[in-house]
Amino acid sequence: MDVHVRSDSRVTRHDSVLPNPKATPRGTRPMNKTKKHNATSSELSRWSHLPPELLDQIFALLSPSDRHRFRLICTPWRGVAKQSIPPFPLPFEPPRLLLSRSDNALSFFDLFNSKSLSYSLPDPHRRAHCFGYLAGWFFLVSDQNPSRACLFNPALVAEIPLPDLEFPIKKAILSAPPGFPNCVVAVMGRSTSSALCELAGKRWQVLDLGHDGQRFFDDIIFWRNQLCGIVNYGIVNRLRGYVNRGNVLICNFDMESRRSSLYTVQLPSQWKYSEFYLVESTGGDLLAVIKNHHKFWVYKLDQWCTTWELMEQIGDQALFLGEIRSESVPVNRFLGSGLRENSIYLTSRKFARPFGVAVVYSMEDEAMTAVPVSGQYSVLAEPVWVSPVIWP
């Protein structure tokens, strides 16, 4: 994509973006072979001395794959890329399914092209388990030491150590990608309350959800800088299931004072033996998705955060749900990919035959069908939806 700079410093995009070190500058004579090396070095030197303000504008217009190439041009360009963190991730493909294999390798499976890419984490993360993902960063827990956790970015080969975990976890989420101000990590315990930690923090701050520690979460999400969770009181009745499930707790937590304010929004009905998921819609609304047997219900929190509205259809978006990660995707950005609008993609290692590890549910037809997943994978680790995103 050629980049043309006008006198008013505006940048317009065309077909190609990165300078070609082998290209001849316009208006110059053809060079002979003896001068080719010196001329190429001189041209690269001119590109490397472009004003940082201009490079920052160029970088903001690039696709994620071009941003990765941008970083490889020269040291000044790489410095601009590191400082120009975009305000939100830019997925360039629909989410892929991260699967663990029996040989401790990972497999990224593309549902829409039926292709699988194998990848092995470097030591000492080769045998680690993934409990969360955001913008290229994986929340990993050591297999040999279940209390040892870190954030790891395979593309950047970067690691951020975290304080030792105080209890077994089921899921981990980030309020923002590392590098953003006030980035907070939250973990959800398997049968205990949740905890928060800043990236520079030395210990986890356990949330006090009341009810003498008998209240915990079925799912959590960061929404509008607040931690939201589906509440489970832990009271089990053999005939009625979990009788106190279905409340959504919204928590404002101050990391400095360690104080939190809580308020609850009751879902319309109590559900027996149901699965609950929280996800943010493409329009920024908080959605609560309930799966009961082979049917899904989607509720949207109203603008006053007081009641839930049942959504018969979810429109031009697809929801990707899972025990570890959920997200919404605008289908119109991926025309021709095979991604189905007004649909819910769900992954779980607990599906009974013949569904495998992934299904798709049509909100219009109210029908659930299996999504074929080829290749070898282990059912001992929970599948994770990941978006192919490259960050500087």
The residue ranges of every structural domain in the chain are 49-85, 89-116+314-387
Q: Cα 272 to chain center, whole Å? A: 29
CA-wise closest residue to 346 among 324, 310, 364, 319: 319
Task: Provide the 3-class DSSP secondary structure of residue 390.
Answer: coil
**Alpha helices (H) along the chain:** 33-48, 52-60, 64-71, 75-83
pLDDT of res. 342: 96
The b/e string for 171-194 (b: 16+ C-beta within 10 A; e otherwise) is bbbbbbbbeeeebbbbbbbeebbb
The predicted model scores a pTM of 0.73
- Bigger pLDDT: 138 or 24? 138
Tokens found for residue 104: 């401790």
Q: From CA 308, how far away is CA 113, in angstroms rounded?
A: 37
pLDDT digits (tens, 9 = 90+) for 144-203: 888 999 999 887 788 999 999 989 999 999 998 888 878 899 999 887 778 999 888 888
What is the pLDDT averaged over residues 203-222?
A: 79
Task: Provide the 3-class DSSP secondary structure of residue 356.
Answer: coil
Distances (CA, A) of 63 to 155, 170, 194, 387: 16, 33, 36, 14
Proportion of the chain above pLDDT 90, given as a percent: 28
pLDDT above 80 for 206: yes
Mean pLDDT of the chain: 76
